[in-house]
């Protein structure tokens, strides 16, 4: 979807880092800072609470023109006006997510190899997350894929690729010099003393 064409910095409000009562404030700061795309990741949270938090976030992102993505839960897209959902490797098919949503949506897929990335594109994903590039506390059991395959990946996959996993302001230059065009940053934004200023700094570096 061309809604992602000008999206380069993808933020994730992960409830593993952010308490529910802090979601409104951090979402406002990320959006004001210029985040291009924003996701809610709420693993292990009751679905009614996910719905409630998503409604809060989308009320902030939509007026700002920032696409809002739910991690998993395509069934919530029938009554949450998010722009799409993001699926892991084990989260079912992209076609099923679109069918359950019942309307046109953006669907992303997490990938951990070039082969998975190619498969996701063939399956109809609108974008992929690729990583983790580095070891990351967000996914402590995941094996880092490193930077060496980024140019090959971008040569073979034509949909937007958001490189994720341990990406921070202080290694962003290394990531882009290895071939990344888009990145997803999680802990570096969420744990920053001023998330607004951190987004501004990251955007200036990209």
User: Is position 158 annotated as part of the catalytic site?
Assistant: no
User: Is position 29 annotated as part of the catalytic site?
Assistant: no
Q: Exactly one of 52, 139, 200, 203 is catalytic; name it.
A: 139
Q: Exactly one of 109, 110, 168, 182 is catalytic; name it.
A: 110
Return the exposure string of 63-82: e unless at least 16 CB atoms fall within 10 Å of the residue's CB, then b: eeebbbbbbbbbbbbeebeb
CA–centroid distance for 165 within its chain: 11
Q: Exactly one of 41, 98, 168, 182 is catalytic; name it.
A: 41
Residue 65 to residue 45: CA distance in whole angstroms: 27
Helix axes 114-123, 94-101, angle to 10 degrees: 40
Sequence-separated (6 or more) residues with CB below 8 Å from residue 57: 13, 23, 27, 38, 40, 68
User: Is position 41 annotated as part of the catalytic site?
Assistant: yes
Catalytic residue IDs: 41, 110, 139
């Amino acid at each position: 979807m061309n809604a992602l064409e000008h999206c380069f910095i993808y933020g994730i409000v992960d409830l593993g880092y952010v308490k529910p009562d802090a979601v409104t404030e951090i979402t406002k700061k990320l959006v004001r800072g210029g985040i291009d795309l924003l996701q809610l990741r709420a693993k292990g949270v009751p679905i009614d609470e996910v719905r409630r938090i998503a409604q809060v976030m989308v009320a902030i992102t939509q007026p700002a023109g920032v696409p809002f993505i739910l991690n998993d839960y395509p069934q919530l897209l029938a009554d949450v006006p998010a722009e799409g959902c993001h699926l892991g490797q084990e989260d079912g098919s992209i076609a099923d997510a679109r069918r359950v949503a019942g309307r046109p949506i953006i669907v992303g897929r997490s990938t951990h190899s070039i082969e998975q990335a190619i498969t996701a594109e063939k399956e109809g994903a609108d974008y992929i997350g690729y990583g983790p590039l580095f070891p990351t506390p967000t996914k402590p059991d995941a094996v880092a894929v490193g930077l060496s395959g980024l140019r090959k990946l971008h040569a073979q996959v034509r949909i937007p690729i958001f490189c994720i996993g341990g990406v921070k302001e202080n290694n962003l230059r290394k990531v882009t010099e290895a071939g990344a065009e888009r990145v997803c940053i999680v802990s570096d934004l969420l744990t920053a003393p001023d998330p607004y200023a951190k987004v501004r700094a990251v955007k200036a570096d990209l």
